Amino acid sequence: MSAPGVHPVENGTIETIDGINHIYFDQYWIRYYEPPQESLAEKKKLLDALTRRTFHHTEPGINTPGDKLDEVRAAYDKQQDEQRKRVNAAMLAGALFNRATDIFTTIVNLEEKGIRVTREDDLMRQCSSCLSEALSLSGNVKHYSGEEGVDELWGEPVKVFTMTIADYYRSRYRKIAQAMREIDRVGDTINQTLCTLDWFKKAKPLVDDYILIARNESEILRGDPDYLTIWPEFIADGEKLLEFRATIPENSSNSLERHIKRGTNLLRAGKDLITWIANVRVPMPVSTQHYLDKCADYQNKTRRFI
């Protein structure tokens, strides 16, 4: 996170650190990748990648094919039960998302055949409309953990459609910086809540290692050769945290044992939250606040044992 050279550093500054190009945003140096040249074909590649990424991180059953849009919309309109309608809305968002991708594929295919499609063309308008409606429904879509929605993922395709590729890349670096800050915040809270206690002191180096590798995971692309090193480290360090066992003092009361076990569950929940944020590469403010509240409650209850 510390910046080489002279402070303060302006957002968007690019420097080489340890032989790797980085870009600076909001107090974080993030791996920099040169954006591809501006073209509809490159935007299509980005849209495809974002479609896969979005459905990978969301609840199952909503990756509805675009050609089923009318049926999915009818089911949504018909549904009266509030909880079920939320799921129908998520499925409709998925169908709209896929319909937009289908339309954009057609546009790119036409361009490759020499047929230019302008922004005023009906196909472009349909694509934009589908993406906008999907975004409006995105609050109904939950993360696969069930914790909260990840609305910001659904905004990415709209950005690709409306921005230049270079501007889109810049917007992503800012989101990654926000995700890194949230990872640090969760990690610092774990250390303050648990690792200052004798029962969990040995977990601190594990937590610190995981914070660092989680930030690395949040910034690296899968096509980067270093991914083959970073991903195994990310998984292995996470496993070490899950395997950690707190030190339970001899002759502990039943209530103290239960409290320490709750702390172990809190540690594991914090590890999971850091994992989710690193993978989605955007903040998860609702889940983070819920976790911070649990940590505050645990600290309050710890006072009776120390």
Domain residue extents for the chain = 40-163, 166-305
CA angle 235, 237, 238 (to 5 degrees): 65
pLDDT tens per residue across span 204-243: 999 999 999 999 999 999 999 999 999 999 999 999 999 9
Cα 79 from Cα 58, distance rounded (Å): 22
Please state, as a whole number, how many other Cβ atoms lie within 10 Å of the Cβ of residue 112.
10
Average pLDDT over residues 180-208: 97
Signed CA dihedral, 244, 205, 289, 50: sign only: negative
**25 — phi, psi (to 5°)?**
-145, 125
256-277 pLDDT, tens digit each: 999 999 999 999 999 999 999 9
Over the stretch 91-112, which tens digit does the pLDDT of each residue have?
A: 999 999 899 989 988 988 888 8
Neighbours of 63 (CB within 10 A): 17
Q: Residues 167-182: what's their mean pLDDT?
A: 94
Per-residue confidence band for 75, with pLDDT thresholds at 50, 70 and 90:
very high
Which tops the pLDDT comparison, 69 or 40? 69
pLDDT at 119 over 90: no
73: its two tokens: 């919309």
CA neighbours closer than 13 Å in the CB half-sphere of residue 108: 18
Contact 9/24 with Cβ under 8 angstroms? yes
The pLDDT of residue 161 is 77
| 95 within 8 A of 130, measured Cβ to Cβ | no
Helical spans, DSSP H, in the chain: 40-56, 69-78, 82-112, 122-137, 151-162, 165-190, 204-219, 227-243, 254-280, 285-302
Q: What are 128-158's pLDDT values in tens digits?
A: 899 889 989 988 988 888 776 666 677 777 7
What pTM value is reported for the model?
0.87
Q: Residue 5 pLDDT more than 60?
A: no
